Structures are given as C-alpha cells and as structure tokens.
Amino acid sequence: MAVRLKNLNEQVMVITGATSGIGLVTSRMAAKRGAKLVLAARNEDALRTLTNEINASGVKAVYIAADVGKEGDIKKIAAEALSQFGNFDTWVNNAGVSIYGKLEEVPTEDSRQLFETNFWGLVYGSLIAARTLKISGGALINIGSTLSDRAIPLQGMYCASKHAVKGFTDSLRMELESENAPVSVTLIKPAAIDTPYKEHAKNYLGVEPENPPPVYAPETVAETILHCAENPVRDVFVGAGGKALSLLGKFAPRTTDKYMEAAMIDMQKSDKPTNGESNDGLYDASDLTLNERGGYEGHVAESSIYTKASLHPFITGAAFAIGAAGIAYALMSRGDKDAVYVSQRALEEESRRKSLESVGDEALSGRSHIY
C-alpha cells in the first residue's frame, strides 16, 4: 500500500520532549505551519505555558504531562490525541537524555534509567502509535543520533541506547512494510545540536561537558522532522559532520577509534568546573523554562546544506560532494592525509550506493522515493 502523507496544515502531530531543544523548536515551527499539536513532556507548568502560547496564535494544541519511560503514560498521550482530535497523523519520538562519564564510573541504575527514556520510551511510543497509523496512515518519526552509527567515548550508554533505537526502528519499518501498512517510518540522526542537552545530562566528568564541533542549530533538525512528516523518508543525517563521522567509522574503524581516543575525550570537556548544582533530567523533569538552545559558545551552523540536499533526490549528489569537502577540510587541518583519502573513497562509494537505490526504487514503484 502506498504511503500518502498529508500536508502539515491538515495534520495532527504528537511530539514528545516538547518543552526543550529540538522538541520545542519543532512544536513552534509546526504550529506556524498550521499543524494541530499534542504536546508531551514531564513538566506540566512548561507544557501549559507552551500550549497557551500556541493556542494564542490561533492553532489548536493540547498537552499531557507524561514520562515516556512509563508505558501507561504513553498510552495516555495516544488517548488524549484520539479524544481531542479523533486521530493523529504524525508521531515524533523525540524525548531523550544523556550521561557524561566513563562507563566504569556510571552507576548501573543510571544506565538503566537512561534506557528507560531513550530506548523503551521510543519503543512504547512507536508500537502504540503504529496501532493507529496502520489503520489511518501517517508518519512515525524516531529521533536517533549520529551516535546511532558511530559510538564515542564518555557517552557510552547514550551511544548504546541510540544504536538500539536504530536497530528497533529498522526492524519495525521492515515489519510494517511487509504488511503493506500505510506508515512511513523515519530515523533522523542529528549531529551535535545547540540545545540544553548537555545541561540536562547526568554528569560524572568533574567539569562542565561541551559539544564537540561542528554544532548545528535545533532548527536544522526541526525542519527535517517537518519535511519527513510530509514526505516518506527512510533515514537522514542532520549535518554533514555526522554523516562524515559515520562513514569514517564504517570504512576506517581503527583510524576512527584512534581519532576518538586522541581528540573526542577532551573535546567533550570544558575548562569550567561543575558548579555543584545538578540540573540533570535523568530522573526528574528539568525543563522548568522553555529553552530552545544551550548557549554553545563556538560557531553554530544555522542550516545544513548537506541535509537539505540529501532530502531531495535530484541534488543528492551535491550532498555527498559537500560532505566530502567538509570532512576533507577538517582532516587536512589535522594533517591526516590517510584519513582524507579513506573518507573521500567512502563518500564516493556511498554516492554510488545511493544512485543504485534510487534507480531500484523507481523501477519497483514507478515513482521516485526519497531515501
């Protein structure tokens, strides 16, 4: 069965983690484009403020305070959407949290709690959303990470949860497609994004954590989410830096390991000592105010030409060229000529694979699919 997605101004969207960062920007952007919204997060005061703001703009929004790590709360989100609007068209599993610290130093209970939110919350949301979407059609959008493909040190359990998210999402997509269910299942893999992510993470570093560059604006992810709500997309990286890191990890894993060990540990540590006032969101809501950004002090890319190109089949080749140029520049600045060669070969191979996929899809379906 062909997947046909509505225009945003005809949709009801469910968004988890709606009061901070990517979820907050996506909620506001979707409202501006006319989508009706069901907003979920743990902090009811923040939800109420956001919902009132959106309703004042003339767009209908409702909220429900929920912890996605509890299956019963996810069922309440779905029930609220069906009660208020009769249906929903797009479900976005966005809620997530991280932990900074060496794996040996992170308590097991913290690691389990992270999985309750990042993995099980997404599983509950996906399966409950799929029951409705299989009947009425629509989009299921799961927020993974560049770290779904390539792990880094000091956020090991976060990486593990995002690897699990990718495996689950890929399996669910295949099962739904085998049933000819009218559901688009998308995995979005952002690079480092300037949100309150690190402020909300549990921190065992002894200093304040930092985002490793390149860092992108949350609007880049929100725009991608909304595109995928209207257009069937299998998966997409947000930011050429993330795609390049994934390809390096795939085609030169040991070289990438060595780079991570030499640079990525220090890149995630600031020179600021922790202030002793924990605001982590691992167990309790930390979204007391509506903050879209985290105040990254370095350069923030306000758009991603790579991601925009990769979402449009006629200019996909340009996306790979941009990705190749970006990673080559970064590596040349480090004098790593071997890694430059490997990355260029990897991107060339990926470009050929994409071209073959596009031709195969068109032959099978008689129309162009965006992958």
Bridge partners (DSSP) listed for residue 99:
202
DSSP states along 93-124: E-----EES-GGGS-HHHHHHHHIIIIIHHHH
Distance (Å) of CA 130 to CA 2, 89, 139, 202, 261: 16, 11, 9, 32, 40
- Please state, in angstroms and rounded to a whole number, the distance separating the CA atoms of residues 22 and 196: 9
CB contact at 8 A, 225 and 140: no
100 an active-site residue? no
- Residue 305 buriedness (CB in 10 A; 0-12 / 13-18 / 19+): middle
Residue 16 is given by DSSP the state E
> Which residue type sits at 323?
G
- Please state, in angstroms and rounded to a whole number, the distance separating the CA atoms of residues 210 and 357: 37
Per annotation, catalytic residue among 158, 197, 216, 259: 158
- Please state, in angstroms and rounded to a whole number, the distance separating the CA atoms of residues 343 and 320: 11
Place of tokens 């009660």: 83
What is the distance between the terminal CA atoms of the chain, rounded to a whole angstrom? 18
Phi and psi at 62, nearest 5°, equal -130, 165
- Please state, in angstroms and rounded to a whole number, the distance separating the CA atoms of residues 325 and 105: 38
With vertex at residue 49, the alpha carbon angle to CA 211 and CA 189, rounded to the nearest 5 degrees, is 30
Listed in order, strand segments (DSSP E) in the chain are 12-16, 36-41, 61-65, 90-93, 99-100, 138-143, 183-190, 192-193, 202-203, 207-209, 215-216, 235-238, 269-273, 300-301
With vertex at residue 186, the alpha carbon angle to CA 184 and CA 129, rounded to the nearest 5 degrees, is 60
Residues forming the active site: 158
